[in-house]
């Protein structure tokens, strides 16, 4: 006689799971039977519902009918998702009660992979759009700018002491006042990149960004004080000298975020915006020639991991090589 028992069913294992579920729901004053009834009537989960594919594919809303504008939108949306992945790791680092070197290394390596993918993927931007189309549709984006990416600012705040993010001429002045985040915020390096050179006034791009995000960024700076990636590394370094792999991962992160990523952005900006006799202005009015190259900002998360000469030459050779390459292409 054939059994009606479905193949692979283990009644004892099922009973154990039911008892565990009953304990879980009873602890919160819920009845397991109600949830089982709901499960009985629920549809199976699909990939497109779980990932919200239809919603995701509907989020591209071009401002023009120029064919290459959706490429520009989708690339920046992908970029923001990579930033979110990085912040997911950094938030876990900041909130952990205790983090061993191996666990920290794993998370830093994840972030490095995200930024490695970001830097490599910038080829989509650099060579993936028609230059004339880009120069046409970009005028409809004013005053929006990639400068206004709040997640990138959050990554920086999570990574290092707030004073390290000030304009390089202000760091020494604020070195002994690190708890005053609101005051230091007024001197953060990226604000200099959105000041009109002739009038010294803030661009609309900067004013919009400050209005929406200043309070949130200041609160984040206060919340992660003493819990930044640099702070946690330095505490680990006090009790161990066997951190070579972690040091190398942090050096890689410094280069990924503060050299490779902004310089790939710079290279792409040069390809599209550099022109003789005058460079084309960015949509946000930012001074991209001075703002993007790391050699002007000397933005370094972990200075203790670099020699004085390495800090002095920060990003310099990369910029010079890139400019030489691009000028050769334009001749």
The predicted-structure confidence for 187-204, as pLDDT tens digits, reads as follows 999 998 888 878 889 999
Residue 165: per-residue pLDDT: 95
- Could you tell me how far CA 263 lies from the centroid of its own chain? 15
Summarize pLDDT for 10-58 with one digit per residue, the tens.
889 999 999 999 999 999 999 999 999 999 999 999 999 999 999 999 9
Position 277 scores a pLDDT of: 42
pLDDT digits (tens, 9 = 90+) for 232-280: 999 999 977 789 999 999 999 999 999 888 888 877 877 777 654 455 5
- Taken in order of first residue, the domains within the chain and their CATH numbers are 61-330 (1.20.58)
Q: What is the pLDDT of residues 219-242, one digit of tens each?
A: 999 999 999 999 999 999 997 778
In 3D space, the residue among 145, 217, 216 whose CA is nearest the CA of residue 188 turns out to be: 217
pLDDT tens digit sequence for 139-148: 899 999 888 9
Mean pLDDT of the chain: 87
Q: What is the pLDDT of residue 61?
A: 96
Among 29-43, 114-128, 314-328, top mean pLDDT goes to 29-43
| Lowest mean per-residue pLDDT among 7-16, 165-174, 184-193 | 7-16
- Residue 50 CA to residue 56 CA, distance in Å, equals 11
Helix axes 32-41, 11-27, angle to 10 degrees: 120
CB-based contact 296:265 (threshold 8 Å)? no
The pLDDT of residue 330 is above 50: no
The CA distance from 12 to 287, in Å, is 68
Question: Which tops the pLDDT comparison, 134 or 324?
Answer: 134
pTM of the predicted structure, to 2 decimals? 0.86
- Predicted confidence band at 286 (pLDDT cuts at 50, 70, 90)? low
Tell me the two tokens of residue 249. 């991962």
- The DSSP line for 270-298 is HHHH--SSSPPPPTT---HHHHS-HHHH-
Share of the chain above pLDDT 70, in %: 85
Among 251, 261, 243, 237, CA closest to 109: 251
Is there a contact between 217 and 153 (Cβ–Cβ < 8 Å)? yes
Q: How many CB atoms lie within 10 A of CB 122?
A: 19
How far from 13 is each of 40, 109, 250, CA to CA, in Å?
19, 38, 45
For residue 119, give the nearest of 309, 28, 314, 253 by alpha carbon. Answer: 253
Range 154-170 average pLDDT: 95
Decide: 236 and 107 in contact? Cβ < 8 Å.
no
Cα separation of 117 and 111, whole Å? Answer: 10
């Amino acid at each position: 006689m054939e059994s009606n028992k479905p193949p692979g069913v283990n009644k004892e294992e099922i009973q154990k799971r039911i008892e565990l579920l009953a304990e879980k729901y009873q602890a919160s004053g819920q009845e397991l039977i109600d949830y089982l009834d709901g499960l009985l009537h629920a549809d199976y989960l699909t990939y497109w519902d779980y990932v919200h594919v239809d919603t995701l594919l509907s989020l591209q809303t071009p401002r023009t009918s120029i064919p290459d504008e959706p490429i520009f939108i989708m690339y920046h949306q992908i970029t923001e998702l990579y930033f979110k992945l990085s912040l997911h790791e950094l938030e876990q680092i900041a909130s952990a009660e205790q983090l061993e070197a191996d666990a920290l290394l794993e998370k830093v390596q994840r972030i490095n992979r995200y930024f490695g993918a970001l830097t490599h993927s910038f080829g989509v931007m650099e060579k993936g759009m028609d230059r004339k189309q880009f120069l046409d549709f970009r005028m409809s984006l004013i005053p929006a700018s990639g400068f206004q990416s709040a997640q990138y600012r959050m990554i920086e705040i999570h990574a290092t002491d707030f004073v390290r993010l000030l304009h390089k001429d202000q760091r020494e002045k604020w070195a002994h006042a690190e708890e005053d985040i609101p005051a230091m915020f007024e001197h953060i390096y990226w604000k200099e990149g959105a000041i009109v050179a002739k009038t010294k006034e803030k661009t609309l791009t900067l004013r919009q960004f400050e209005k929406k995000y200043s309070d949130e960024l200041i609160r984040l700076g206060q919340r992660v004080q003493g819990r930044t990636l640099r702070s946690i590394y330095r505490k680990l370094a006090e009790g161990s000298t066997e951190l070579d792999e972690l040091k190398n991962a942090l050096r890689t992160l410094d280069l990924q975020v503060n050299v490779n990523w902004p310089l790939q952005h710079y290279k792409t900006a040069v390809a599209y915006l550099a022109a003789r006799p005058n460079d084309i202005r960015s949509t946000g009015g930012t001074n991209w020639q001075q703002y993007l190259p790391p050699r002007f900002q000397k933005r370094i998360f972990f200075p203790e991991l670099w020699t004085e000469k390495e800090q002095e030459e920060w990003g310099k050779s990369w910029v010079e090589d890139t400019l030489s390459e691009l000028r050769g292409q334009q001749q």
